Amino acid sequence: MKKVTKISWRIQTGNQWWSGTDSEVDMEIFRDSTSLQRLRLEPGRTARLNRNETATYFWVFQSNSSIGVSYSGFTPPFYIEFPNDIRGHLKVKFTARGDDAWEKVSILSTVFSGEIRHVPGTIDSLFWEEQRDEFLFGQDVVLSTDPREGFSAWTLAY
């Protein structure tokens, strides 16, 4: 069982003159075949990744309500449960929204999860013990809606 709180992606673009993009890229996070979240890699008017750049993006899972759960004065972060672990069950799909090619050389993804632990020597004190799992996706992939330039979508299978 993994209780996932956050996912980060450290993306490195290629060094060709066309490796950066002006097109937006959509993302969708899945647990098995269930969509958990849809988002934009670079939302709104934020700068797009240029050629030979590295940037880190992340998503923190949030409750649909603003109600949290507290245990003895301790409030753990919101999490999404992966009952059978994340390997083989977590997928993130990147989809190009335009025909300006975007070359991704590598993505280092970190999945943050944790567990509520008891503080030894106390009656009811708790803390959140965070764990990190890292995954390297080193395939050189070009995303574009133009099939002559690359693929319109690419899925990271953890």
- The pLDDT tens digits of the residues spanning 5-45 come to 999 999 998 888 778 777 888 999 999 999 999 998 876 66
- Distance separating alpha carbons of residues 49 and 21, to the nearest angstrom: 6
| HSE value, Cβ hemisphere, 13 Å, CA-based, for 46 | 10
Tell me the domain boundaries of the chain.
2-157
Q: How many helices (H) and strands (E) does the chain have?
A: 0, 10
Of 2-6, 95-99, 124-128, where does the model show the most confidence? 2-6
Question: Per-residue pLDDT tens for 50-88?
Answer: 888 898 999 999 988 877 778 777 889 999 999 999 999
Q: What percent of the chain has pLDDT over 90?
A: 60
pLDDT of residue 74: 82
Nearest to 12 by CA among 105, 108, 124, 90: 105
Q: Looking at the structure, give the CATH architecture of the domain made up of residues 2-157.
A: Sandwich (2.60)
- Distance separating alpha carbons of residues 8 and 51, to the nearest angstrom: 20
Tell if the pTM clears 0.85, that is, is over it. Answer: yes
Residues 92 and 6: beta-carbon distance below 8 Å: no
